[in-house]
A = this chain, B = another copy of it.
Amino acid sequence: MNGNLSAERQTFVTHLECSLTGEHYAADTLHGLSRAGRPLLVRYDLEAAGKALDRDALTRRETDLWRWRELLPVRQTSNIVSLGEIETPLVPIPASGGAEVLVKDEGRLPTGSFKARGLVMAVTMARELGVRRIAMPTNGNAGAALAAYASRCGIETVVFCPDDTPEINVREIAAQGARVYRVNGLIDECGALVARGAAEGLWFDFSTLKEPYRIEGKKTMGLELAAQFDWRLPDAIFYPTGGGTGLIGMWKAFDELEQLGWIGPERPKMFAVQASGCAPIVKAFEDGVEHAERWEDAHTVAAGIRVPKAVGDFLILRAVRESGGRALAVDDAAILSAVNVCARRDGLLLCPEGGATLAAYRDALAAGLVSASDRAVLFNCATGLKYPMPEANAALDKNAAIDLAAL
């Protein structure tokens, strides 16, 4: 059985820090945003962590997310609320991508999306810190992951989603024990309801980056990539960017790994991928500014990246710029075409957000931003099964004379 879920392990969190001002906050205490209204980042004594754990010891452990325990905030093993957070596979897509293109298939995680990484960590920390009730705005997948983990450890949840959130997501959230409401607005308007309830003392606010631990869970995407590539990172990462927690988290992971001496100073080019119907980060990147304005009239088939305003905008833009990458927008037709060709030719059904990364990769290749010999990782953030697929309705009558040779 999995020792990562039974062994007590040393932990190394020293404090939390405002991502804008650097102001320090105590560990092991409940926090939302910093006094400056910005995300808090968890800091570790990495020198001590490096003495407690080396790469070889890590490699001998089970490969799930909890192998990284010394780089994670949870103090007590007994608080871990696990549903089996496996290391997600890297799947080549030679026909639709190219010889050096790998899809990190995050749809294999519990509740079928990468949101499980952030939420397993945040819910575990909420449990450790005594939270009894949580609320969240969601476009679907985050709410499902929250509901699953919170119900598993007896924490109540209230979830708000835009009223055009796909039926399957809303039902999944409800089936997993949350109270879920459809709101006639976008995700930031749902977030305003959550913020108001938090101010009224009704619940703890679990919005993206408004509590400090989802980013620590998402960070494991970067840690895993390093281990899967034998401690040499890929040349480019294409990441579907809504709130951007994962991109910020991976960038943080690479820094921590370098401080541990496990990787060198090389970094992948980070490509933040958005939909052209909702591309605030792309606009800010192109305008050369540090903060993004709210995107009005946001619309795209890729609901997971329909985020008009991200509280961590400056962190996303900083990572993309430092890496030598870009923020790229792709339109819905390109997204759907990428999903289609990847399924038909490589047998891998991407979610629309995953399709967006493939479309953006092709654009980047055409524009010379990456070369065909660059090793590129595309993040498929959820199972394609949660999303609408084209109709297929060819019927045969068993009682008729069927000409099988004509099929």
Q: Given the complex of chains A and B, what is the CA–CA distance between A82 and B390 in angstroms? A: 25
Selected from B87, B172, B385, B407, the residue in CB contact (under 8 A) with A168 is B385
Q: Does A90 contact B (CB under 8 A)?
A: yes
Task: Report 13 cross-chain contacts, Cβ distance below 8 Å, ordered by A residue.
Answer: A1-B229, A1-B230, A82-B91, A151-B345, A174-B390, A175-B340, A175-B343, A176-B343, A176-B344, A179-B407, A181-B395, A184-B396, A197-B404
The residue of chain B having its C-beta at the shortest distance from the C-beta of A197 within the complex is B404
Prevailing SS type, chain A contact patch? mixed
Q: Given the complex of chains A and B, what is the CA–CA distance between A390 and B175 in angstroms? A: 7
Shortest distance between the CB of A140 and any CB in chain B (Å): 11
The residue of chain B having its C-beta at the shortest distance from the C-beta of A163 within the complex is B395
The residue of chain B having its C-beta at the shortest distance from the C-beta of A87 within the complex is B86
Chain B residues in 8 Å Cβ range of A149: 347
Q: Given the complex of chains A and B, what is the CA–CA distance between A82 and B94 in angstroms? A: 12
Instruction: Given A193-B404, A404-B193, verify A184-B397 contact (CB < 8 Å).
Output: yes
Given contacts A150-B347, A158-B407, 8 further A-B contacts (CB under 8 A): A63-B63, A86-B108, A112-B383, A151-B347, A175-B349, A200-B405, A202-B405, A385-B385
| Those 9 A-B pairs whose CB atoms lie nearest each other, nearest first | A84-B89, A174-B392, A148-B347, A152-B347, A171-B389, A197-B404, A177-B344, A185-B398, A175-B343
A90 in contact with B395 (CB, 8 Å)? no
Chain B residues in 8 Å Cβ range of A9: none
Residues of A in contact with B (beta carbons under 8 Å apart): 1-2, 63-64, 82-84, 86-87, 89-91, 95, 105, 108, 110-112, 147-152, 158, 160, 163, 167-168, 170-177, 179-185, 189, 193, 196-197, 200, 202, 228-230, 340, 343-349, 383-386, 389-399, 402, 404-405, 407
Instruction: Given A83-B347, A86-B108, verify A404-B184 contact (CB < 8 Å).
Output: no
Shortest distance between the CB of A180 and any CB in chain B (Å): 6
Selected from B90, B193, B392, the residue in CB contact (under 8 A) with A173 is B392
A83 in contact with B90 (CB, 8 Å)? no
Shortest distance between the CB of A392 and any CB in chain B (Å): 3
Chain B residues in 8 Å Cβ range of A404: 193, 196-197, 200, 202
Chain B residues in 8 Å Cβ range of A2: 89-90
Shortest distance between the CB of A383 and any CB in chain B (Å): 6
B86 in contact with A86 (CB, 8 Å)? yes
Chain B residues in 8 Å Cβ range of A193: 396, 398, 402, 404
Shortest distance between the CB of A85 and any CB in chain B (Å): 8
Chain B residues in 8 Å Cβ range of A170: 392-393
Chain B residues in 8 Å Cβ range of A349: 111, 148, 172, 175-176
Chain B residues in 8 Å Cβ range of A340: 175
Chain B residues in 8 Å Cβ range of A163: 395
Q: Given the complex of chains A and B, what is the CA–CA distance between A2 and B393 in angstroms? A: 39
Shortest distance between the CB of A280 and any CB in chain B (Å): 21
Chain B residues in 8 Å Cβ range of A399: 184
Chain B residues in 8 Å Cβ range of A152: 95, 345-348
The residue of chain B having its C-beta at the shortest distance from the C-beta of A177 within the complex is B344
Q: Given the complex of chains A and B, what is the CA–CA distance between A193 and B395 in angstroms? A: 13
User: Which of A158, A179, A184 counts the most B-chain CB atoms under 10 A from its CB?
Assistant: A184
A343 in contact with B177 (CB, 8 Å)? yes
Q: Given the complex of chains A and B, what is the CA–CA distance between A391 and B173 in angstroms? A: 11
Instruction: Given A181-B396, A395-B181, verify A168-B83 contact (CB < 8 Å).
Output: no
The residue of chain B having its C-beta at the shortest distance from the C-beta of A183 within the complex is B396
Chain B residues in 8 Å Cβ range of A197: 404-405, 407
